[in-house]
Structure 1
Amino acid sequence: MTKYNLMKKVHNLLTFGFDSQPRRFISWFIISLICLNVLAVILGSVDTIGRDYHDLLFGFEIFSVAVFSLEYILRVWSCTVEPKYSHPFTGRIRFAVSPLALTDLLAILPFYLPFLIHVDLRFLRTLRLLRLFRLGHLKRFNETSRMILNVLRERREALIISFAIILLLIIFTSSLMYFVENPAQPEVFKNIPDSMWWAVMTMTTVGYGDIYPITALGKLLTSIISILGLATFALPTAILSAGLLEEFQNKKEIHEHICPTCGQEIPKT
């Protein structure tokens, strides 16, 4: 087997896919390892578990980093089989700075950083959660992400307008509530920026309860603003939902006019 054929085989095996038994096994192994790493980070944040199972969690971390490091090295080594990364040096540099390769690097970098520089270990443990983004290698995930980005691009004007309406409503309602409630409780509604916190919590119906009106007019305004908030914050959701439905419909129509055998477009009758 030539070096190029070996690189091509390694590249195909490390590309997430489920069309063959070896690729299916490697893909599920990496996916499972990523999910277990996220679970280990979550469980390790519990003091009793982190203390009692420290050796087990650390051993699993070493094993995971070894696997991810080997995978990253093999990806960089074999990336030159792709035409856009064909140059043995600059091609690998371009691959290394691509979003997915940077995600791979960030998945293993937190383990090696303490050996190079002094850094907060708690921050590094949090960075390990970035391994979850490696699932972006999945083809279906990429296709869905592209669909969402297309919708955001096509509906950007409507989304900008809807968010502008939300911002204006927050400014208006917080200013109004400040002038209504400040005389009654100046220590709570100190200024308009503080009132904005109340406006956001009220319009999103979160209602933490740390800031609330006590005057009759303030309570009436809060009731009206809560209803307005529900309707206003539903605008971006409705725009995105309509865009996604349209995108799915377009994709369905395209697939219906493609021959599953030859891949050619079926003439419309």
Structure 2
Amino acid sequence: MKKINKEQIFHVIQIGNKGDIASRTFDIFITVTILLNVAVMVLQTYEEFTPIFPILNVIAFVTILLFCVEYGLRIWTADLLYPEVSRRKAIIKFLLSFDGIIDLFTILPFFFLSGFVAFRFLRVIRIFHLFRINGQYDSFAVIFSVLKEKRNQITSSLVILMILMLASSIGIYYAEHEAQPRVFRNAFSGIWWSVSTLLTVGYGDIYPITTPGRIMAILTGFLGVGAVAIPTGILSAGFVEHYAKMKLMNNFARDEHIDLLTIHVTEGHCWNGLKIKDIGVPDHYLPAIVTRDGDSLIPVQDLTLKIGDTVVLAAEAYFSHTY
């Protein structure tokens, strides 16, 4: 009985399980809790609301308490989230995951570190809970899918940007150090200027006054336009490719009179760790194909789904017509 209750709780607290009314209700409840918590954090920055600070503190305490309960439940059910590893490793894996770190940094400052400015700043991290509201749905799934597919290209472009930033910082030091020794004191003192110039924001608080320094600024500005455009172009191309694939699949399905559904298995999804034979699919639909790391897999009954998999469901009529 305990195992059944644990599984029921696990499925309820998983975000994006639209087919389960209890899970859907929990999603709405935790969304309201997150929004209340963020609203309190914002209102506490206004002196005009000082008279109602005691009420806001109570709301903050209650919402944090709810986060603690949710955090405890997620630790308790971690072995169901990561069934391929032992319970201890599953808990560690959750604690080190994005959701686990955000949950921890959300509740920790409230109870133990509220007296330190540096740790009070960590309260801002609770805003990242908002990602969990839509993180399992189509709009965010598309973004995460594109970022994952283009992660190598994006990483390369960021490395190029870091190299340009370091080179321009050293260059502006040699060009401006003698003229502005207090502003450009060492090779790394130009980092702020380098970032503002490469990213074309140009705050103007630090600027070159010598001719070599201004030439360096011109070159850095031109390089910055190209460096910033690289990851933008990569992401744009990724979105175009993704939607082109979706359009091609939909056109194929329409021409062949096939109804298709695409399910992305992400961290926290109720299908993660389940076998094909154990997943619940809509009526009159069957798994048609599973894509994993760019490979297409046949959805055999014993195939275990993992984070990052994409399951394509086709109408049952298509299978009866084909086979």
Indicate the TM-score class for this superposition, using the shorter chain for normalisation: 0.7 to 0.9
What is the deviation of 1:131?
3.1
What is the deviation of 1:148?
1.2
1:97 corresponds, among 95, 118, 121, to 95
Match of 1:150 in 2: 149
Q: What does 1:1-269 align with in structure 2 at a 5 Å threshold? A: 2-17=1-16, 18-49=18-49, 51-78=50-77, 84=83, 90=88, 93=91, 97=95, 99=97, 100-113=99-112, 120-134=115-129, 135-136=131-132, 138-140=135-137, 141=140, 144-153=143-152, 155=153, 159-160=155-156, 162-216=157-211, 218-219=213-214, 221-253=216-248, 259-260=259-260, 261-263=284-286, 264=288
Distance change >3 Å, CA 142–CA 69, structure 1 → 2: farther
How many residues are aligned here? 257
TM-score by length of 2: 0.62
For the residue of structure 1 that corresponds to 2:222, the secondary structure is helix
Distance change >3 Å, CA 30–CA 175, structure 1 → 2: closer
In 2, Cα distance between the equivalents of 1:212 and 1:74?
53
TM-score by length of 1: 0.72
- Greater shift after overlay, 189-198 or 25-34? 189-198
Q: Deviations over 1:114-172 (max 9, x none)?
A: 6xxxx63544543333333344374124564244122203x25xx42x44544454455
What is the deviation of 1:30?
0.5
8 Å CA contact 1:180–1:217 kept in 2: the answer is yes
In 1, Cα distance between the equivalents of 2:75 and 2:10?
9
What is the deviation of 1:86?
9.3
8 Å CA contact 2:161–2:227 kept in 1: the answer is yes
Identity of aligned residues (%): 28
Distance change >3 Å, CA 214–CA 69, structure 1 → 2: closer
Structure 1 residue identity aligned to 2:132: G
8 Å CA contact 1:202–1:226 kept in 2: the answer is yes
Q: Which runs of 5+ in 1 are unaligned?
A: none
Q: Deviations over 1:155-207 (max 9, x none)?
A: 25xx42x4454445445545554454455444444444334443332232222
CA root-mean-square deviation: 3.8
8 Å CA contact 2:173–2:184 kept in 1: the answer is yes
8 Å CA contact 1:174–1:199 kept in 2: the answer is yes
More helix by share: 1
In 2, Cα distance between the equivalents of 1:82 and 1:179?
54
8 Å CA contact 2:146–2:235 kept in 1: the answer is no
- Greater shift after overlay, 127-136 or 10-19? 127-136
What is the deviation of 1:3?
3.6
